[in-house]
Amino acid sequence: MEKVIIIRYAEIHLKGKNRGYFERVFAVNLEKSLKGMRHELHRMSGRWLVEKFDQAQAEEIETRISRVFGVHSYSLGYLVGSELDEIYAGVRLVAPREGTFKVETHRGYKRYPMTSPEISAAIGGRLIHDFPALRVDVHTPQNTVYIDVRENGAALVFGSFESGAGGMPVGTAGRGLLLISGGIDSPVAGYMMAKRGMTVELLHFHSYPYTNEGAKEKVITLARILSKYSLTARITTVKMTEIQESIHKHCAEELNVTLLRRFMFRVAERIARARKAQCLVTGESLGQVASQTMEGLASSNAVVTLPVLRPLIGFDKEEIITLAKKIGTFETSILPYEDCCTVFLPEFPAIKPKLDYIEREESKLDVETLVNNALSTAEIIDL
C-alpha cells in the first residue's frame, strides 16, 4: 500500500488517435509544475499518479497540480492491491468513523470477478461491522468512499475529488502574444487562452518617465502569478513615450488612445512574428471603454494581419473581476500605478471614430520611424 495523489485529465480523452501527443505534453507540464518537489510521476491507464513524495509537501504538491491546465480532478488516496482484503485495508484509512456514508466503486478493469455494486456492498458491510456508528445513505451521504479498480492487479482508494483547472495542456494550441497592461482584464485574458492550451508570451508597453518603475514591477508581479498556470516566465517591455508625445503634439486630441492602440498593435505584431507567435491576445471587452467600441476595435485590427483574439469580448466587468480574484491577480491589478494608456488621456475620447479620419490624422506622423524606435527599446525580462 502506498499513499499517492491521483490525477485525472479533462478533455484529452476526446482526442482519439492524437491522445498520445496531448498526454505527453500534459505529463511534461505536470513535471514542470512539480519542479523542486521530491516525487515520481507514473501513468496508469487514463490516470497519472504522483508517488514517493514527501508527505510534508503533499499540500503544496496538490496546490501546484490544481493550477495545471488539463487536470480535471485530483485526489489524495492510496494505491493498493485488487484483492478485497487489500482494498478494505486502504478503505479503512480514508473512511469516516461515524455519520452517514456510501461506497462508490468504478471498475476500469471489467474482468474483475465482482461487479461494482458487489464490491461496494462488501466493503460497506465490513465498515458497518467494524464501526457501528456508521450508517449507509446512498442518496445524500455525509461521506463517500471511492474505489477505482484498475488493471494489473491494482486499485485506488480515496475519499474526495478536488477540482482541477480544466482545459487543455499548455503547448498544444499554438503560441500567442498577450498585450498585458497591468490592469484587471489582460491577465485574465492570458489565463483563459492558456487554459485552451495556448503558450502565451507577454508584452508590456510603458511610457517612462510618465509611468514609473512601480508600474513595471506591478506587471512583473502579474507575470509571475500567471507563470504558475504554465504560462511562459518571460515578458518583453517596450517604451512608447516618443509615440505618445508625437500623437499628443500632432494629432487630434480625441484620437490619442485610438492612435496609440494602432501603434501598439503594429509593434506587437513585429514582436509576435519574431517570437513565432501566431496571434495577438488582448483583454478588450466590447464597449467597456471608449477605445473598445466596434469602431475602435476595427481601427486596431486594420493595421495588423495576424489574428487578434479577445477572450473577454462578451464579458462584463464583474465577471472579469470574479475570474481575476479566482486566479489571484486582482489584488495586484488594482494597485494604484498608471499604465501608458492613461498618459495624455483626452477629456472626451472619440467613441465611434471613422477610419478615414483616423488615417488622415495618423498620416501626420512618421509611422515607420516611430515603430522602429519603439522596437529598439524592447527589453526581455526572464522571470
Q: Are 188 and 320 in contact (CB under 8 A)?
A: yes
Same domain, yes or no: 249 and 320: yes
Number of domains the chain is built from: 2
pLDDT of residue 226 exceeding 70: yes
What is the side-by-side strand order in the sheet with 175-179?
Answer: 308-309, 279-281, 175-179, 199-206, 234-239, 379-382
Please check whether residues 309 and 201 belong to one and the same domain.
yes
227 is a domain residue? yes
Query: Going by C-beta distance under 8 Å and a sequence separation of 6 or more, which residues neighbour residue 345?
Result: 256, 257
Picking from 117, 133, 163, the residue at the C-terminal end of a domain is 163
Q: pLDDT tens digits, residue range 102-114?
A: 999 999 888 999 9
Compute the distance between CA of residue 282 and CA of residue 203 in angstroms, rounded to an integer: 10
Measure CA 196 to chain center: 8
Q: What is the CA radius of gyration of the chain?
A: 27
Q: Is residue 170 part of a domain?
A: no
Mean pLDDT of 349-368: 93
Give the per-residue pLDDT at 338. Answer: 67
Could you tell me if 206 and 251 lie in one domain? yes
Task: Classify residue 98 by its DSSP letter.
Answer: S
pLDDT of res. 172 = 95
Residue 263 inside a domain? The answer is yes
Residue 247 and residue 127 in one domain = no
Residues 117, 235 within the same domain: no
Rounded to the nearest integer, the mean pLDDT of the chain is 93
Question: Do 355 and 322 have their domain in common?
Answer: yes
Measure the CA–CA gap between 142 and 153, rounded to whole angstroms. Answer: 30
Domain identity same for 184 and 289: yes
Domain interval for residue 43? 2-163
Rounded Cα–Cα distance for residues 284 and 301 (Å): 12
Q: Which of these ranges, 31-35, 132-136, 141-145, 337-341, has the smallest mean pLDDT?
A: 337-341
Residue where one domain finishes, among candidates 163, 194, 222 = 163
Domain-embedded: residue 356: yes
Q: What is the pTM of this model?
A: 0.91
Q: Are 129 and 165 in contact (CB under 8 A)?
A: no
Based on the fold, state whether residues 117 and 262 are members of the same structural domain.
no
> Do 279 and 141 reside in the same domain of the chain?
no
Residue 168 has pLDDT above 80, yes or no: yes
Alpha carbon 366 to chain centroid, angstroms: 39
CB 327 within 8 A of CB 229: yes
- Residue 169 lies inside a defined structural domain of this protein: no
Report the CATH number that the domain containing residue 303 is assigned in CATH: 3.40.50.620
Same domain, 150 and 200: no
Q: Are 100 and 226 in contact (CB under 8 A)?
A: no
Boundary of a domain, candidates 102, 129, 163: 163
The answer as to whether 103 is a domain residue is yes
Distance, in Å, from the CA atom of 145 to the CA atom of 87, rounded to the nearest integer, reads 11
Distances (CA, A) of 110 to 38, 80, 81: 34, 18, 16
Residue 168 lies in a domain: no
Do 295 and 158 belong to one domain?
A: no
For residues 269 and 220, state if they share a domain: yes
User: Looking at residue 56, which CATH number applies to its domain?
Assistant: 3.30.2130.30
Q: How far apart are CA 292 and CA 299, in angstroms?
A: 10
User: Could you tell me which of 70, 82, 1 has the C-alpha nearest to residue 33?
Assistant: 70
- If you average pLDDT over residues 300-319, what whole number do you get? 97
